[in-house]
């Protein structure tokens, strides 16, 4: 008797649950809220940030780093929120270029205003990261390290 062993069933089928169901659709009310944040955020940005970072977010020479295409923004919302509230000092690197000037604090901005500005920054100049809510911002502000 010839034994022919053929492994027919060595292939393991991995069923992965990627969860790609209809979750991606943003509700209409969230969309309206996002648009409100963006309108307010733009006005506040121009008042409080634009003088340095410029209306187009490109910054100014080696003095003020860009927000447009900034790698510093990547996955760093919590820190950005704290920087807006408390300012920023000391050397930082943005897109491979070192900056070392003081960014002023904004103690008078409310959590809502900071949420609007942050949402504007994270949804402008090619980014579309969606709403950064006032609740999120309040949580981050509680955790900012005190200097
Ligand atoms: C007086 C000028 C000035 C103003 C006004 C200002 N910044 Fe800045 N900003 C700076 C400087 C300078 C740095 C770099 C700080 C350092 O070198 O430590 C910086 C850094 C940053 C960074 C991190 C680096 C980057 O480019 O991604 C973010 C984000 C930022 N600012 C956002 C804002 C936002 C939002 C506002 C408005 C609420 C604002 N800044 C207002 C000067 C300013």
Residue 23 lies in a domain: no
Residue 4 lies in a domain: no
Residue 49 lies in a domain: yes
Domain that holds residue 88: 28-143
Of 133, 122, 42, the residue nearest 74 (C-alpha): 122
Mean pLDDT, to the nearest integer, of 51-66? 98
Task: Indicate if the pLDDT at residue 63 is higher than 80.
Answer: yes
Mean pLDDT, to the nearest integer, of 14-36? 68
Residue 103 lies in a domain: yes
* Choice between 5 and 109, residue whose per-residue pLDDT is larger: 109
Mean pLDDT, to the nearest integer, of 135-145? 96
Of 33, 147, 144, 146, the residue nearest 80 (C-alpha): 144
**How many structural domains compose the chain?**
1
Residue 69 lies in a domain: yes
Whether residue 67 contacts residue 73, with contact meaning beta carbons closer than 8 Å, is answered with: yes
Residue nearest to atom 29 of ligand 1 (CA): 80
Ligand 1 atom index nearest CA of 90: 18
Is 65 a pocket residue for ligand 1 (Cβ < 6 Å)? yes
CATH no. for residue 54?
A: 1.10.760.10
Mean pLDDT, to the nearest integer, of 109-133? 98
Is 67 a pocket residue for ligand 1 (Cβ < 6 Å)? yes
What is the band of 26 on the pLDDT scale with cuts at 50, 70, 90?
confident
Residue 117 lies in a domain: yes
Is 73 a pocket residue for ligand 1 (Cβ < 6 Å)? yes
Residue 39, H or E segment = helix 28-48
Percentage, residues of the chain above pLDDT 90: 80
Residue 111 lies in a domain: yes
How far is Cα 88 from Cα 103, in angstroms, rounded to an integer? 5
Phi and psi angles of residue 143, each rounded to the nearest 5 degrees, phi first = -95, 0
- 130 CB-near residues (< 8 Å, 6+ apart): 26, 34, 122, 123
């Amino acid at each position: 008797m010839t034994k022919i062993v053929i492994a027919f069933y060595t292939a393991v089928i991995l069923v992965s649950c990627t969860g790609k169901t209809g979750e991606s659709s943003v509700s209409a009310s969230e969309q309206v809220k996002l648009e409100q944040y963006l309108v307010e955020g733009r006005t506040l940005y121009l008042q409080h940030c634009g003088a340095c970072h410029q209306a187009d977010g490109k910054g100014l020479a080696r003095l003020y780093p860009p927000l447009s295409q900034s790698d510093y923004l990547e996955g760093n919302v919590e820190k950005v929120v704290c920087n807006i509230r408390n300012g920023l000092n000391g050397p930082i690197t943005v897109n491979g270029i070192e900056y070392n000037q003081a960014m002023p604090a904004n103690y008078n901005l409310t959590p809502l205003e900071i949420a609007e500005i942050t949402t504007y920054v994270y949804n402008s100049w090619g980014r579309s990261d969606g709403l950064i809510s006032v609740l999120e911002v309040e949580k981050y502000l509680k955790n900012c390290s005190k200097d």
